[in-house]
């Protein structure tokens, strides 16, 4: 068996070598030629796992060590009998920590008493649930919008997107990126959505690039009340938007040690189950003793780093010191 692993996936070196030939590759070197005789891939969001990459290859399994999976053409993989998985929920605690730091920054900058404010959460899955719990513990009112969950579970506890837009003081997005269909989230924050917001509303995007229509956002005053971690066109940012946002970071909201440990663990376990590697079914990447997932996070330091060198977006992300 032969496996290609994105070289930036941590805690995995040496784990699969007893079972396969393992190649650790830079994402730019994962291409149709290099995957042709490979049985499995463990990648991140920078590798587009679609027909152009996988056609004529031997790949039977793809794992992405990320919560996002819009870089995987799920329909094509399923048609070709290629099993795939994302690391669902792997970085939920890290993103909650990021959003908490963002909300506290808003409170400081705009002299907010959070106990008088309403948080709107769009997408209440692994991350959104943790953010909801945190906000309620802080004494905030919370509005939840999650149409797929509402359809399955009933409308109680959920509000429509327009109602959330009109009532929330701070809005945070935690949806996958869906470009089409009934539950489309691409540009869910568009000109119509922005027109409904309170004049002093604040926006956080730590979900996916493309959730916010950046051109529409720039036509409003809301960038100065926005904290953006995920951008359209990454790694090529809209520099005008970066100049205007309250804080901007380089898609690292989920980049914590715990998130990476969880993602690598899920990727290895998924591969093990696909290929029958019994010894690795319950393998777990190790966490350092004494690690605190809720330790202080200096969100302003990451903002400063991005503003200083936005052209290094990708390399800063790849070399980010896990918090």
Handedness of CA 87, 254, 157, 155 (dihedral sign): negative
Q: How far is the C-alpha of 71 from the C-alpha of 114, rounded, in Å?
A: 37
Looking at the predicted structure, is the pLDDT value of residue 122 above 90? yes
* Element of type H or E holding 259: helix 257-275
pLDDT of 290 reads 84
Residue 238: helix, strand or coil by DSSP? coil
Are 169 and 136 within 8 A, CB to CB?
no
Q: pLDDT tens across 178-209, in order?
A: 998 889 999 999 999 999 999 999 999 999 99
Residues 103-117 have a mean pLDDT of: 98
Question: Helix 92-109 and helix 126-137: axis angle, to 10°?
Answer: 40
User: What does the alpha-carbon distance between residue 287 and residue 94 come to, in Å, rounded to a whole number?
Assistant: 14
Q: What pLDDT, on a 0 to 100 scale, did the predictor assign at position 291?
A: 85
pLDDT average, residue stretch 206-235: 97
Catalytically active residues are: 208, 234, 251
Are the beta carbons of 126 and 92 closer than 8 angstroms? yes
Q: Which residues have CB under 8 Å from 46's CB, separation 6+?
A: 6, 27, 71, 314
Domains 2-90+257-280 and 92-248 share a fold: yes
Reported as a pLDDT band with limits 50, 70 and 90, residue 295 is confident
Total residue count of the chain as it appears in this document: 323
Q: Is the pLDDT of residue 293 over 90?
A: no
Please report the pLDDT score of residue 34 as a whole number.
Answer: 97
The dihedral over CA atoms of 11, 15, 16, 19, expressed in degrees to the nearest 10, equals: 180
Span 131-186, pLDDT tens digits: 999 999 999 999 999 999 999 999 999 999 999 999 999 999 999 999 988 899 99
Mean pLDDT of the region 273-279: 97
Q: Which CATH number is associated with domain 92-248?
A: 3.40.50.720
Condensed to tens digits (0 to 9), the pLDDT of residues 24-44 reads: 999 999 999 999 999 999 999
pLDDT for the residue numbered 323: 84
Residue ranges per domain, the chain?
2-90+257-280, 92-248
Task: Spell out the residues 6+ positions from residue 311 whose beta carbon is closer than 8 angstroms to its own.
Answer: none
Percent of the chain topping pLDDT 70: 100
Which is nearest to 63 in space by CA: 36, 37, 90?
90
pLDDT in tens, 83-102: 999 999 898 999 999 999 99
What is the three-state SS of 120-188? EEECCCHHHHHHHHHHHHCCCEEEEECHHHHHHHCCCCCCCHHHHHHHCCEEEECCCCCCCCCCCCCCC
- Cα–Cα distance, 208 to 234 (Å, whole number): 10
CATH architecture of 2-90+257-280: 3-Layer(aba) Sandwich (3.40)
Report if pTM > 0.85: no
Q: For position 141, what pLDDT does the model report? A: 98
């Amino acid at each position: 068996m032969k496996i290609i692993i994105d070289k930036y996936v941590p805690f995995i070196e040496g784990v699969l070598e007893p079972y396969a030939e393992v190649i650790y590759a830079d994402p730019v070197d994962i291409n149709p030629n290099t995957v042709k005789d490979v049985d499995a891939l463990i990648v991140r969001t920078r590798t587009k796992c679609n027909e152009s990459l996988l056609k004529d290859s031997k790949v039977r399994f793809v794992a992405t060590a990320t919560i996002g999976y819009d870089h995987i053409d799920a329909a094509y993989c399923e048609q070709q009998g290629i099993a795939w998985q994302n690391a669902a929920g792997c970085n939920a605690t890290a993103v909650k920590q990021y959003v908490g730091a963002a909300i506290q920054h808003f409170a400081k900058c705009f002299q907010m008493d959070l106990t008088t404010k309403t948080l709107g959460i769009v997408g209440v899955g692994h991350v959104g649930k943790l953010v909801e719990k945190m906000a309620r513990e802080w004494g905030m009112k919370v509005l939840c919008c999650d149409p797929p969950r509402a359809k399955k579970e009933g409308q109680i506890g959920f509000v429509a997107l327009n109602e959330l837009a009109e009532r929330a003081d701070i809005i945070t997005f935690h949806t996958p990126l869906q470009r089409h269909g009934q539950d489309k989230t691409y540009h869910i924050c568009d000109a119509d959505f922005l027109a409904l917001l309170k004049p002093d509303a604040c926006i956080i995007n730590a979900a996916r690039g493309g959730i916010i229509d950046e051109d529409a956002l720039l036509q409003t005053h809301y960038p100065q009340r926005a904290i953006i971690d995920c951008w359209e066109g990454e790694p090529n940012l809209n520099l005008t938007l970066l100049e205007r946002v309250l804080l901007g970071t380089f898609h690292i909201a989920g980049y914590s040690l715990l998130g990476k440990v969880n993602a690598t663990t899920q990727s290895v376990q998924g591969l093990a189950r696909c290929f029958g590697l019994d010894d690795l079914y319950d393998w777990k990447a190790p966490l350092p003793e004494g690690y605190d997932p809720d330790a202080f996070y200096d969100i302003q330091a990451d903002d400063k780093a991005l503003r200083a060198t936005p052209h290094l977006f990708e390399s800063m992300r790849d070399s980010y010191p896990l918090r």
